[in-house]
Amino acid sequence: MSAPAVSSLRQSSSASQAFEIRPFDAPLGAEILGIDLGTPLNAEDFARVHQAHLDHGVLVFRDQHITPEQQIAFSRRFGELQIHVLKQFLLAGHPEIFIISNIVENGQPIGLGDAGKFWHSDLSYKELPSLGSMLYAQELPEEGGDTLFAQQQLAYETLPAELRAAIDGRRAAHSYIARYADEVFEGIQRPRLTPAQLAEVKAVVHPVVRTHPETGRKGLFVNENFTTHILDIPEDESRQILAELFAHSARPEFVYRHQWQPRDMVFWDNRALIHLATGCPRHLRRRMHRTTIQGDAPF
């Protein structure tokens, strides 16, 4: 990955970059053209990007040529970074970068093969789930490998009144290990979690409907990957309600499908969206670098 050395050395630049924000013809998402994330953004540019992220939920920065250090530096502008529990898949020397990849080298997977074949919001199983994630394409397959995003505020606003009433004020449990073993990727099991890793991912409780801390908009905050049950109601009722919520939350009218282009850097809002990896055929190589920004406790 080559990046102009001079831009990483520059601490701040007062000149604005002339970038364009183009919303997609979709329920969410926008592409950003003509920006270099390797150059520290000045306050005005950062404010534009920040606002666009809140407005569109997914930002696609095209054609980025940046180093891991530069990805980390840009990510940190939004908050503290989270280190993934699967330590074996962190980039050497840069634990802030989590490798998502189906590539196996010397019999060992170099990254998490399937980062999410079930709909999810990253790290919803933590007390402080992630604000957003940045996924940077390093190597893309010739086919497949798309990522889907679904707008959960729209999902909440369009819930049938009865269902909305049933979840009003409710809380739900989230667990990393609930479906961990179900995520068999092309016949490859996920690595076994060690006792130390298990201790890091104790179940947590979050509101079923969360208020976005920056926009104030309410959205659904449950997902089929990590949400196990709604508290304080009978188990069969919880199961039924969650099944209805999961079905509603991924309706096509809330979804944007991202078809990756080389050197895309995609930044999504985990407080407003859920997402899903569609996967790619086993013989094709896919490798991505993810940074994960810590968010607030949901309320």
**What minimum distance in Å lies between the beta carbon of 165 and Mn ion?**
30
**What minimum distance in Å lies between the beta carbon of 76 and ligand OGA?**
18
Asked if residue 250 binds ligand OGA (CB under 6 A), the reply is no
In sequence order, the 6+-apart residues with CB closer than 8 A to the CB of 181 are 189, 190
The nearer residue to ligand OGA, 147 or 249, going by C-beta atoms, is 147
In sequence order, the 6+-apart residues with CB closer than 8 A to the CB of 44 are 16
**What minimum distance in Å lies between the beta carbon of 58 and ligand OGA?**
12
Supply the residues annotated as catalytic.
Answer: 120, 122, 275, 290
Asked if residue 59 binds ligand OGA (CB under 6 A), the reply is no
Q: Which does 280 bind (CB under 5 to 8 A by kind): ligand OGA, Mn ion, none?
A: none
The nearer residue to ligand OGA, 153 or 225, going by C-beta atoms, is 225
Q: Which does 121 bind (CB under 5 to 8 A by kind): Mn ion, ligand OGA, none?
A: none
The string over 51-75, giving b where at least 16 C-beta atoms fall within 10 Å of a residue's C-beta and e elsewhere, is ebbeebbbbbbbebebebebbbbbb
Instruction: Give the footprint of Mn ion on this chain (CB under 5 A).
Output: 116, 122
Q: Of residues 31, 173, 290, 298, which one binds ligand OGA by CB under 6 A?
A: 290
How many other CB atoms sit within 10 Å of the CB of residue 214?
16
Asked if residue 150 binds ligand OGA (CB under 6 A), the reply is no
Encoded amino acid at 173, one letter: A
Asked if residue 270 binds ligand OGA (CB under 6 A), the reply is no
Asked if residue 116 binds ligand OGA (CB under 6 A), the reply is yes
**What minimum distance in Å lies between the beta carbon of 206 and ligand OGA?**
18
Query: Using CB under 6 A, which of the segments 19-27, 61-69, 115-123, 174-182 binds ligand OGA?
Result: 115-123
DSSP for 8-29 reads HH-----SPP--EEEE-SSSS-
**What minimum distance in Å lies between the beta carbon of 187 and ligand OGA?**
18
Encoded amino acid at 269, one letter: D
Alpha carbon 124 to chain centroid, angstroms? 10
Number of chain positions touching ligand OGA (CB under 6 A): 11
Query: Using CB under 6 A, which of the segments 114-122, 150-158, 165-173, 198-206 binds ligand OGA?
Result: 114-122
DSSP 118: S
In sequence order, the 6+-apart residues with CB closer than 8 A to the CB of 195 are none
Asked if residue 280 binds ligand OGA (CB under 6 A), the reply is no
Q: Of residues 147, 175, 223, 291, which one binds ligand OGA by CB under 6 A?
A: 147
Q: In what order do the strands lie in the sheet with 147-151?
A: 255-258, 147-151, 273-277
Q: Of residues 56, 84, 212, 275, which one binds ligand OGA by CB under 6 A?
A: 275
Q: How far is CA 29 from CA 151, 198, 207, in A?
A: 10, 35, 25
How many other CB atoms sit within 10 Å of the CB of residue 220?
27
Encoded amino acid at 277, one letter: A
**Binding region for ligand OGA (CB under 6 A):** 100, 115-116, 122, 133, 135, 147, 275, 277, 288, 290
